[in-house]
């Protein structure tokens, strides 16, 4: 008796009821969403200031005029973000690993790592940017770069390195001790255990929160505008301040969304995939 399994009539009935329920829920969801959208559009469209708002925030002419400068500025944002991200990952991993070492010889390094994460997680990023970009050149040390973009990347690395170090450390701590014991049983040394057993698993586990930090880093590249880096947001503000129009700000917003939304979707996908794997289905 190895008949292929066929759903019982009752199961079929169940499935049909479920399908009906799903359809009903979908219709309600769609209906209410459309209604809400219409409501918002009506409120906005009939507001007394709508015409003025359109002139100041949705002017096609100003959007076109400001576009080249914003695009040029956004290239700076992208460069800072990409270069910064690579360095931040390295710094974060080094700091996290340092904090998890146990030998007494490395105590000074551990103290430095703890102070670093505490201080730079607690300081407002804007303040670090100011001190790095204006303070460091003021010292006038030979050979130290005075270029604000470089110093801006340095400031962002300092701040985000501390955040990312903590995320990675949490990942390392979440690896079960049995993994380390197994590695030792196989004859791997401490460094090898960290390199081949702990870190790969830890990094995979914290990928979603890491990506979250990187989305936030993309936005924070705008902070360097305060010291004179002419990035996208600053280009938009500059145009707006001269022509008294806010449209370029929205254009900049679209630029940033074009970068951050795909990354956010990707983050979600990774998170869901990890969940699926953990649940085994």
Partner 1 sequence: MRLKPALVALPVLLALSITACGDVKDDGNDKKATSSSSSCDVADLPLTTAGKLTIGTDSPAYEPWFTDNDPTNGKGFESAVAYAVADKLGFEKGDVVWTKVPFNNSYAPGPKKFDFDINQISITPERQKVVDFSDGYYSAAQAVIVLNKDKVEAGSLADLADLKLGAQTGTTSLTAIRDEIKPKTAPVVFKDTNVAKQALLNGQVDAIVADLPTAFYITAAEIEDSSILGQFQPTTGTQEEFGLLLGKGSELTGCVNQALESLKSDGTLAGLEKQWLSETVDVPVLK
Shortest approach of partner 1 to residue 52 CB, angstroms?
Answer: 5
Whose Cβ is closer to partner 1: residue 157's or residue 223's?
223
Place of tokens 């080249």: 68
In this structure, are residues 81 and 218 in contact, taking their beta carbons and an 8 Å threshold?
yes
Total of chain residues touching partner 1, rule CB under 8 A:
37
Shortest approach of partner 1 to residue 88 CB, angstroms?
Answer: 25
Shortest approach of partner 1 to residue 124 CB, angstroms?
Answer: 16
43 binds partner 1 (CB under 8 A): yes
Report how far residue 251's alpha carbon sits from residue 257's, in angstroms, rounded to the nearest whole number.
10
Q: Give phi and psi for 244, each to the nearest 5.
A: 55, 55
Whose Cβ is closer to partner 1: residue 52's or residue 195's?
52
Q: Considering only residues 208 through 227, tell me which ones interact with partner 1, judged by CB under 8 A.
A: 225-227
Whose Cβ is closer to partner 1: residue 240's or residue 271's?
240
Whose Cβ is closer to partner 1: residue 93's or residue 245's?
245
Find the part of the chain contacting partner 1 (CB under 8 A) among 50-58, 84-92, 183-191, 198-206: 50-58
Whose Cβ is closer to partner 1: residue 33's or residue 216's?
33
Report how far residue 253's alpha carbon sits from residue 241's, in angstroms, rounded to the nearest whole number.
17
Report how far residue 106's alpha carbon sits from residue 12's, in angstroms, rounded to the nearest whole number.
66
Q: Considering only residues 75 through 94, tell me which ones interact with partner 1, judged by CB under 8 A.
A: none
Shortest approach of partner 1 to residue 57 CB, angstroms?
Answer: 8
What is the contact mask toward partner 1 in residues 229 to 248, using x (rule: CB under 8 A)?
-x---x--xx-xxxxxx---
42 binds partner 1 (CB under 8 A): yes
150 binds partner 1 (CB under 8 A): no
Q: Which residues of this protein are in contact with partner 1, per CB under 8 A?
A: 24, 28, 32, 35-36, 39, 42-43, 46-49, 52-53, 55-56, 134, 137-138, 140, 146-148, 225-228, 230, 234, 237-238, 240-245
């Amino acid at each position: 008796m190895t008949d292929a399994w066929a759903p019982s009539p009752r199961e079929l009935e169940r499935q049909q009821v479920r399908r009906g329920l799903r359809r009903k829920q979908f219709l309600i969801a769609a209906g209410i969403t459309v209604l809400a959208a219409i409501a918002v559009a009506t409120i906005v469209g009939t507001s007394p200031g709508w015409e003025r708002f359109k002139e100041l925030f949705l002017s096609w002419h100003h959007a076109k005029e400001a576009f080249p400068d914003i695009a040029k500025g956004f290239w700076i944002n992208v460069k800072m973000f990409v270069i910064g991200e690579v360095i931040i990952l390295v710094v974060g991993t080094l700091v996290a690993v340092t904090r998890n070492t146990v030998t007494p010889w490395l105590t000074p390094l551990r103290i430095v790592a703890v102070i670093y994460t505490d201080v730079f997680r607690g300081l407002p990023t804007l303040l670090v940017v100011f001190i790095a970009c204006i303070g460091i050149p003021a010292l006038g040390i030979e050979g130290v770069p005075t270029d604000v973009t470089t110093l801006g990347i340095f400031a962002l690395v300092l701040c985000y390195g501390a955040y990312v170090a903590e995320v990675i450390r949490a990942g390392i701590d979440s690896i079960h001790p049995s993994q380390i014991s197994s590695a030792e049983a196989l004859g791997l040394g401490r460094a090898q255990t960290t390199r081949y057993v702990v870190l790969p698993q830890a990094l995979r586990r914290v990928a979603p929160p890491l990506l979250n930090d990187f989305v936030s880093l993309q936005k924070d590249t705008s902070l360097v505008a305060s010291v004179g880096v002419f990035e996208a947001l600053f280009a938009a503000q500059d145009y707006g301040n001269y022509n008294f129009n806010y449209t370029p700000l929205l254009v900049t917003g679209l630029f940033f969304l074009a970068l951050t939304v795909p990354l956010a979707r990707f983050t979600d996908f990774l998170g869901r995939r990890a969940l699926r794997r953990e649940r085994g289905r």
